[in-house]
Structure 1
């Protein structure tokens, strides 16, 4: 495409100049531009768009080795605003000057990653066919002037007049890059197992999968992380502008750019303050559980909507507020811990079965039907509904919340501590405690810690002693990452459990157990380091690496340089999360991009054992992990558990997801001292 545009540029110039049969009288200030090299510089540019009105800006012309000029056109509209923000266009291309004529060519994308926004919709051809915009500047009384069209929506009239010298760096630099995330070779035995699953699924014969078989990254099983810090510094300095880069400017492209702007324009501290406020007002329901929110067009809360995994998210929210309190001593953070912790206690009381606990809670509204798997509480809880199905994942929320709360709630708070003592003991009676041996040691330790019970402490020590001689995540490394394939929600669940387990051992003074748990955490980081899981890097730094732990896997497969590089980049994990979350009727599909490629390894391939087996599309995943502001920001309720190489999703306007994912990462980073945060 670049070759075509370059050729088109020269043919256009030849045509324009050959048609000139009469020498024009050039104004003196323009004629002086024709001296050798005089076009190079940064020109003041003015113009008008037929759809968005007048604009001002600059045009940079910088000599290229091929005899042309590299062109950068940056214009900001004067009277056109989107959500109260100015709109700026950045186009990059090529320019050729001859006589009194300057011909420029820009390739603009018609589609990027949003396929539908409200009633606006992209066609498939929009993603594969960029529009080449050619402009011809000629001498006029106003300066060098041009009229042109973007061939889609707008006609433009613009002119350039005065010039200033080039700066040391171009006005705009594309910093977007693909980071190799392949990792070590997949062991031969594992590859054989994957191939068995692929045959069972019919993945290798799937026509859509086969259409990518000649792609280099497909053959090499080579995934990439798309890292795009472009315009971060610009947005930090220019908080009132949305910058649309090398795209046809319309509602969809402005929306794509605005979410990036909402990620990069606020400071991390400002986003934390906004999410802290929004979570209290929109996402902690009347009882104290993390919830989704129904909102109107202005973002005003209409109603809370339950989140089926709320026991885990609420446990992490309590952790975020405990770390916030330890960092700031803000009494609001402590009040947030108390409210949500009471809800976690109710999860264990409301079922009236000592072996079961609820996943989440919501108010009971008389007259409304009770949904499937929901039950009305009894007695003092008759005004509540509870969702059945408390499982291993939700259990992690219970232990995590009690561990953090016991660090910040003063022991003279008799109400809270009475419940902490009771509920920590009752963990040992839950069905999931008996079914999952990995839950037994930390539960015993938590109960021993909170109740100061030496007998329980002895049982805690014995439980870990037994685990040392059994196949378990304590005795061996059970994590895996195979060329972009992993149990991503399990990565998040694992780090939550690691923090809980390490902190319990630390507070009990069980240094041998603590050190082994720290090594397990570092093993996990080494496994997933090719995928750059930023929250995991922060956790590994704070709870293991900064304490001097490295582990055998680290010494064999990693290095201090690699870890510190990952740590220095970890803040980008929360920089990419915007505030506010988009409240849009939107569909995302990165597979429409011509540079996208499907993975040759099915996503969660072991799920083919489910009955009935999911459709083939369930197993599709890409080889590109896009920035949060280009996918998860629109659709995810918790970015740290999402499939890293997802590519397609949708979201309905009026439903707002919580920002506990941001709060947990931000306040953890502050708690453990991650560099480059604020």
Structure 2
């Protein structure tokens, strides 16, 4: 369990603080039809007891054994043996109980079985209940109003086809959806009136205490005022316009479509549910209110139950902590679960990665901040185990001070990613991955520095400082290069002025490498007090222009000119969001361990300059990292939005958004921003912090892997707690 008895050690009273009160967290429980079930599903309802019943071409069905992240199945309903011989044609909900329609009667197993109202429409397939157990039924052509086995009215829509039936208790009126109009049936006058002519229509609903009738079409929806018979402008700025179902639930209007479901909120924006993170299929057939703050969405492949649960950010952190510890620790590293079978968490394997060291550094950073806030012994043990893995990255290579990207037991290189990069370790039981890059190195220094400062365990503190000194001594000894097993610099481990200053001033790597190496040298000096680090830093800052490089405004950065070499042009063909990750984890050492107050003040200006260009992404980690400077403005609300909106389901499901009509796309640009406004995390593919938050789609690889929340979510949350800009839970 996470201990929350302590407050953030770095709380700044003048900075805004997000109060961690409960919010509505959504997640999905899915139930799939099996491949051998040839069933056309058309509706699902819940009763007052929390039971859920589906209806399809074979009759009534039940959801079976589903829970979050562990999908269930759909099985035949055999609860009432007396129903077996009946030719069931429809299901509805009446007074929060299930009511069925067969070829002879309207019936229910609720109400002590007292409802058995015979009718005269043998092919009836639609039913809705009104006042005093009176029901309107239809076979798509005729309409009968039935009560107590008496047909009190017979009629039709004069050439129109009946698609759906609704009843509004507040007006005691039945509403009828035709393909080309909306009609009402009045029990008092026993007459049908046309309310609206138009279409073709596909779906509709009316709120209980409103005159608004929502009309769904193949190209959008419109709102009809039943009291004035006036229809509003057709709405087409939607996630998708081919509407198949509509349901008003609470203060939201839910729409089903052929590309997922979406809910219209009070602010006029939509919550979009696309892909198998939420639904068995994107083809929605029916929407209904479910039990316990849930919404039941029937699709062509099964049932998606969208659940809403009150949760604080701290409770979300507890959930993610369990996710990481149970499924994402490989040899002590923070790892992904790959090779899964369509989201099945019992399948797959813990995968190696180019960035095992970086992802683990970021997870370790989060656990360091967690321990600093809570003094939780579980957090301390997590820190210890992560540091053990990080330390072995140095011990398993033949080059002193050179850290591997990863390591694995001997004999499995052919099954690992990038097998050509793996080398035998001096330890005969292990192999290590070479070609370590600068993003790994800055991640190491960030985590080791945070541990050396904030963890009060003498052994961990000492080992962290030794690792800082070991790595930085290697870099200084080798003329500001990271030297691999073959005696050559790695592709990206280069901080030598000859390399850094070879880039034109507007190419980002010149600024990035200058910023990172300054942070690394400051961190090394801060904890070792060895003058060689300070001297080298000032040599680079002054003699070789690294200060000017790192202070250069981000607005200057762009594509290299035509006269630049191929490497510079390749490195500046567009914004690299991995650079953002390297900058920000480096800012911990750049700002916090600055050599003097003047540098610290100027480094703050550079960090805030970076934050300004990042603001459109609403990236939770970068907003919270910016808060370490003490600034009052760091988009706290957007950071909280990122943390709240992040999906609990971290599986890589296929997600589609580029077809949406409710987003404004912008022309291609250097920053690779695709839309005017970034989408919420739970509507996009799962992304690490080195990804472009404006990426909208994930094609293929549906449900084949699960990301760890360790680096993606727990790092920004616990950093926010440590900095005091996120409060403890306020239940």
TM-score for both structures, normalised by structure 2 = 0.54
Which secondary structure state, in structure 2, belongs to the residue aligned with residue 342 of structure 1? helix
The corresponding residue for 1:249 is: 298
Correspondent of 2:587 among 498, 503, 525: 498
Q: Deviations over 1:286-319 (max 9, x none)?
A: 1435344455665236521112222221111111
Instruction: Quickly say closer, same or farther: Cα 1:545–1:280, change in 2 above 3 A.
Output: same
The separation in 1 between residues aligned to 2:439 and 2:556, in whole angstroms, is 17
User: In structure 2, which of residues 680, 691, 703 is the aligned counterpart of residue 642 of structure 1?
Assistant: 691
Q: Is 1:542 matched with 2:589?
A: no
Find the partner of 1:425 among 449, 457, 473: 473
Q: Is 1:628 the equivalent of 2:681?
A: yes
* 2:409–2:431 CA contact under 8 A, matched in 1: yes
* 1:543 Cα deviation after fit: 2.7
Q: How far apart are 1:676 and its partner, in Å?
A: 6.9
| Contact in 1 for aligned 2:45/2:53 (Cα 8 Å) | yes
Distance, in Å, in 1 between the alignment partners of 2:329 and 2:392 is: 15
- Where do 1:83-232 residues align within 5 Å? 83-84=66-67, 141-143=132-134, 145=136, 172-174=250-252
Alpha-carbon deviation of 1:360? 2.4
Q: CA RMSD in A?
A: 4.5
Give the CA deviation at 1:336: 1.9
How big is each residue's C-alpha offset from its partner over 1:112-148, in whole Å with a ceiling of 9 and x where there is no partner?
xxxxxxxxxxxxxxxxxxxxxxx99786651464669
Going from structure 1 to structure 2, the CA distance change for 1:525 and 1:239 (only over 3 Å counts) comes to: farther
Per-residue CA deviations over 1:309-340 (Å, capped at 9, x if unaligned) read: 22221111111110011111112222222222
Q: Deviations over 1:381-418 (max 9, x none)?
A: x3333223222222221211211121215334555554
Could you tell me which runs of 5 or more consecutive residues in structure 1 were left unpaired when the two chains were aligned: 1-48, 58-74, 88-134, 177-224, 232-237, 547-562, 606-619
Query: Aligned in 2, Cα 1:456/1:646: closer, same or farther, shift over 3 Å?
Result: closer
When residues 251 and 488 of structure 1 are mapped into structure 2, their CA distance, relative to the original with a 3 A threshold, is: farther
Does the CA-based 8 Å contact 1:341-1:401 persist in structure 2?
Answer: no
Inter-partner Cα distance in structure 2 for 1:494 and 1:654: 31
Partner of 1:374: 421
Cα offset, 1:52, TM superposition: 4.9
For 1:580, the equivalent position in structure 2 comes to: 649
Please identify, of 408-417 and 356-365, the stretch whose mean Cα deviation from structure 2 is larger.
Answer: 408-417
Measure, in 1, the Cα distance between the counterparts of 2:541 and 2:473: 18
Is the CA contact 2:685–2:697 (under 8 Å) kept in the aligned structure 1? Answer: no
Give the drift of 1:604. 6.4
| Structure 2 counterparts to residues 335-484 of structure 1, below 5 A | 335-354=381-400, 357-365=403-411, 372-380=419-427, 382-407=428-453, 408=455, 410-413=457-460, 417-428=465-476, 429=478, 430=482, 431=489, 432=493, 433-434=495-496, 435-436=499-500, 438=514, 439-466=516-543, 471-477=548-554
Structure 2: how far apart are the matches of 1:389 and 1:453? 28
CA shift in 2, pair 1:674/1:253, >3 Å: farther
Unpaired segments ≥5 residues, structure 2: 1-39, 55-62, 73-125, 141-161, 173-207, 213-247, 255-266, 274-289, 483-488, 501-512, 560-573
Q: Residue 404 of structure 2: SS of its match in structure 1?
A: coil
Instruction: Tell me the SS of whatever aligns to 2:658.
Output: helix
- Cα distance in 2 between the residues matched to 1:403 and 1:226: 46
Give the structure with the higher percent strand. Answer: 2
CA distance change for structure 1 residues 401 and 377 in 2, over 3 Å: closer, same or farther? farther
Partner residue of 2:713 out of 644, 652, 662: 662
Question: Is 1:592 paired with 2:670?
Answer: no
Task: Note if contact 2:621-2:715 (Cα within 8 Å) is conserved in structure 1.
Answer: no
Q: 1:647 to 1:341 in 2, by over 3 A?
A: same
Q: Please state whether the residue corresponding to 2:371 is helix, strand or coil.
A: helix
1:305 and 2:351 equivalent?
yes
The answer on whether the counterparts of 1:480 and 1:486 sit within 8 Å (CA) in structure 2 is no
CA contact (8 A) 1:361 1:384 kept: yes
Rate the CA distance shift 1:368–1:455 in 2: closer, same or farther, 3 A: closer
Counterpart contact for 1:571–1:676, Cα < 8 Å: no
Aligned residues of 1:373 and 1:388 also touching (Cα < 8 A): no
Contact 2:425 2:431 (C-alpha < 8 Å) held by counterparts: no
Q: Deviations over 1:595-616 (max 9, x none)?
A: 45653215767xxxxxxxxxxx
**Deviation for aligned residue 1:479:** 7.1
How is 1:665-676 mapped onto 2 (pairs within 5 angstroms)?
A: 665-675=716-726
Distance 2:470 2:129 in 1: 83
Does the 8 Å contact 1:318/1:340 carry over to 2?
Answer: yes
Q: Which of 253, 268, 273 does residue 313 from structure 2 map onto?
A: 268
Larger helix proportion, structure 1 or 2? 1
Q: CA deviation at 1:663?
A: 0.8
Q: CA deviation at 1:449?
A: 2.1
Secondary structure at the counterpart of residue 625 of structure 1: coil
Q: Is the 8 A contact 2:452 2:464 kept in 1?
A: no
Give the equivalent residue in structure 1 for 2:57.
Answer: none
Distance, in Å, in 1 between the alignment partners of 2:472 and 2:268 is: 43
Aligned equivalent of 1:652, options 702, 706, 722: 702
Q: Secondary structure at the match of 1:655?
A: coil
TM-score by length of 1: 0.57
Measured in 1, the distance between the counterparts of 2:295 and 2:525 equals: 56
Q: In 2 relative to 1, CA 537–677 (structure 1 residues): closer, same or farther, beyond 3 Å?
A: farther
In the alignment, the residues of structure 1 paired with residue 532 and residue 538 of structure 2 have an alpha-carbon distance, to the nearest angstrom, of: 10
The Cα offsets for residues 184-233 of structure 1, whole Å up to 9 and x where unpaired, read as: xxxxxxxxxxxxxxxxxxxxxxxxxxxxxxxxxxxxxxxxx9976799xx
Correspondence for 1:78 among 52, 71, 80? 52
Tell me if the contact between 1:479 and 1:527 (Cα under 8 Å) persists in the aligned partners: no
Please identify, of 516-525 and 364-373, the stretch whose mean Cα deviation from structure 2 is larger: 364-373
Q: 1:518 to 1:250 in 2, by over 3 A?
A: same
Which residue among 571, 577, 602 is the counterpart of 1:516? 602
Distance in 2 separating the partners of 1:472 and 1:595: 41
**Matched residues in 2 for 1:300 and 1:358: separation?**
30
CA–CA separation in structure 1 for the residues paired with 2:268 and 2:724: 26
Q: Distance in 1 between matches of 2:545 and 2:552?
A: 5
Change in Cα spacing, 1:333 to 1:50, as seen in structure 2 (3 Å) is: closer
Distance 1:389 1:56, change over 3 A: same
Note the C-alpha offset of 1:641: 2.3
- DSSP-derived class of the 2:351 partner: strand
Are 1:328 and 2:374 an aligned pair?
A: yes
The Cα of 1:349 is off from its aligned counterpart by 4.1
Moved more, 315-324 or 364-373: 364-373
Contact 1:590 1:596 in 2 (8 A): no
Q: Is the 8 A contact 1:350 1:358 kept in 2?
A: yes
* Alpha-carbon distance between aligned partners in 2 of 1:367 and 1:520, rounded to the nearest angstrom: 43
